[in-house]
Structure formats: C-alpha cells, structure tokens
Structure 1
Amino acid sequence: MAKHQDFLMRRGLFVGLNLCVFVSAYLLAIRPVVSLLSDQADRLAQARAALSNYRTIAARDAAVRSKAARAGDAASSSAFLQGASDGGINADLQARLKTVADQAGARVQSVRALEPGTDRDTRYLGAHLELTGSIAAIYTTLQTIEGREPYLFVDTATLRMPATPPGAVPTQEPSIEAQFDIYGPLRNHAVGR
C-alpha cells in the first residue's frame, strides 16, 4: 500500500506540476497574446471609424471647394466699394448717395468725404450726407442706402424737425432735416494693402 500511496503522490505531484506549468504558460504567453489581439481589434475598429469619417469629408470636397470659390468671388463682387484710389471711390460713393436721395424725393443739402476708418482689419470709406425731405423720402433714402450693394452702413444719424411758426397750420407733411455718416467696406479691405 505504501507503493500505491507513493504512486498516487507522484501522480498528484505530476498533475500539480503540469497544472502549474500550464497556468504559468497561459499567464506568461497566451494571455498577453490574446490581450494584444483584442487591443488590435479595438484599434482596427477605431481605424475603420476614422476612415469612414475621412471618406465623408472627402465626399464633401467638391461642395467645400465650391463654397470657398464663392467666398473668394464675394471679396471681388459689387458688395464692396471698388475703385483705383480712395479719392475715386469716395467720389463715386458721394455721387451714389446723392442719386439715391434724389430718387427718393429728398433734397441733398451737402455731401462730403469722411476720414477713412479701420475696424478688425477691414478698411472703410465714408461720407457725411445732409438732406431734407418728408419722412417718407428720408425713410426711403435710408432703406435704399442700407438695402443694396455695395454694402453701406449708417454709423451716425441725426434727425431734426424744424420748428413751425406759432399759430401756423401745417398743410402738408412736415419736412425733416437729416444728417447721416455712411460707411462702406473697401473691396481690397485688408489693412496695409
């Protein structure tokens, strides 16, 4: 029986050692390989998602290029004041303002150039416009100035209604005196150009 116990003990020791070797081999060799393969699968899934995003972006390439070309065209369009020199541009602006006021039924008292201005790297030329007319004529003038190209902005507006003599009964719509400082961005709008 001692022989049989010795045999069982050797067998148990053999199985135990083999089990320890197998567990050690699993922990030292197989588990890291499985973990590496799992990480590679995650990276591959991330790469597929990135590739899908890049394909979506590439599919929009034509639309983006088209919009960029239109934005470039806007810088050279009639939306900005254009001309060879500041003096020529300002003369054109003053003539344009006078024409707009005349067409609206307002009477231009004076129009003169203002000092150029710069705001956030955009250069502006301006004109001071003084006119008189009915409320409707002044309103139409303002609406036309700000509603058409080139883009013009009324920076300062002063409206004044002249006093009527005491006891006088107005027979027509009252006249308003108006003064406006109007600016427009230059086509070549970067500072220093």
Structure 2
Amino acid sequence: MASPEKRSNLTESSFGDHIEWAEKPQEHDIYSALKILVKKSWALRRLVATMVVGFGISMVYYGMPYGLGNLLFNLYLCVALNAISEFPASFLTFFLIAKVNRKDSLLGLTLLSGICSVTCVLVRKKGMQNALEVVSFFSACTTFDVIMIYTLELFPTCVRNSASAMVRQAGLLAGVLSSVLVAANRENKWLSYGVLGSQL
C-alpha cells in the first residue's frame, strides 16, 4: 500500500517475486449498475414499482410531521408522540421482519395509515384526532422500514445499492412535495392529511 519511495527492503525482498508493483489503471463505469437496471426488463419493473411505492409511503412519512401545526391539538405534544412512535415502529420491524410476508404487511400497513389519515380530517374531537394521527404515523414509519428492507431483497448484489438509492431518492422527492401540500393545507384541510391518506 505504500508508495515506491517508502517501501522497505524487507518488503521488496519478501513480495518482489510475487507481486507486480506497477500501478494498473482501473476503468470504472459509474453508470454500469444503472445500465443493468434499465436493460433488464424485470429489474426495471421492480425498480419502478418500488420507487412508486416508496414515493407514496415517503409522502406520508415526511408529510405528517409537517402538517401537525394544522390540526386541532397541541403541536408540542403531538411532535413528542410522533417521535416516540418511531421507536416501537423500528423495533416491530426488527423483530417481525423475518416472520411476515413483505407484500401483505406493506398492503395492510398502508391501508391502516391511509384510513387513519383520512379519518383524522373528518373527526372533530382533539383526543381522537391525536390518536388517529399517531396510529397513522406509526404505520407509515413501519411501512417505510419494510419497503427499504424489501427493496434490498428484490435486487441482486451488483445493483442493490443503486436500486435502494433510487428508491431513497424518490422518497426524498416525496418529502419535498409533501411540504408543498402542507403549505396548501392552510386553505383546504383535504390537501394535506386527506391527500396523504387517499394516495396510500
């Protein structure tokens, strides 16, 4: 690993017969994984599907905390409850991921999150609205964890990093757009929690 000037005589005598010290230029195609994902139709279908699902889940995952100020209850209490609900969501995913079917758990959790999110807009009681929002956010956190693990499992090692990065990028774009929805929510309550819940 040392440069030629810093190599000792002992290193030269020990490894000189077995290793070529000349540096070999390496060619790296940084787009090789992306080319594989686009060329293979099965990989492209999986990538598009996981990006769309990741986009929808991330809209809720990032959008719900943004929209807390537009609901009826105490902002600080709800932010604390949302932060606390991320811990059991991660633990639940950690302990149950080996035992659950990925597609069924994604479908069930997104339905639960969507129903609670839409109902959160319709309910006028503060306590009920708070409970529905926390359940919806808990489901969204768990679903977010599951989709990231599922993405890793869907792709072979040579393209796994690129595929998970693309899904993560779709999620970050959803986070940007969800803040726009929350800003529009000041005029129309359906544009935040209603849209977030219905798009799941």
* Structure with the larger RCO, 1 or 2 (CA within 8 Å, 6+ apart): 2
| Greater radius of gyration (CA) | 1
TM-score range, shorter chain: under 0.3
Using structure 1 for the length normalisation, give the TM-score. Answer: 0.17
Using structure 2 for the length normalisation, give the TM-score. Answer: 0.16
